[in-house]
Amino acid sequence: MGEVLAEVRNLRDAFRQSEIKADSSRAAVHQRMDQLVDRVGTLEGNVAAVKEDVSEMRPTVDDVKRWKLMGLGAIGVIGIGGMAMGVTFADAIRRIGAVIVGR
């Protein structure tokens, strides 16, 4: 009978140690879960701030794009005008040269 009681005590001690290990393991899991919740909360706050910043920057970006397109259009107009003036100038020089040479 003493051996049975000793085995029961050993089983109880082993079960108690197993419970202690399980409790510490669960505590570690809960601690990591709490840290994860804090990190996700911080991340959500940062994302909200970035979204607000982007929405504030959007009109400026659109204006810069519009200015860029207007600048490219102006460069195109200046290029066409310069080409037209060059052709006109070349034709005028050709005519003046023809008058001087006597053709």
C-alpha pair distances (Å), 13 with each of 1, 4, 21, 72: 18, 14, 12, 84
So what's the pLDDT on residue 3? 83
Per residue in 57-84, pLDDT (tens digit) is 999 999 999 999 999 999 999 999 999 9
The pair of structure tokens assigned to 88 is 């006109």
**How far is CA 61 from its chain centroid?**
15
- What is the length of the chain? 103
- For 21-35, the pLDDT digits (tens) are 998 999 999 999 999
Q: Given a cut of 70, is residue 103 above it in pLDDT?
A: no
* pTM to 2 decimal places: 0.47
- Three-class SS of residue 100? helix
Residue 40 pLDDT class (50, 70, 90 cuts): very high
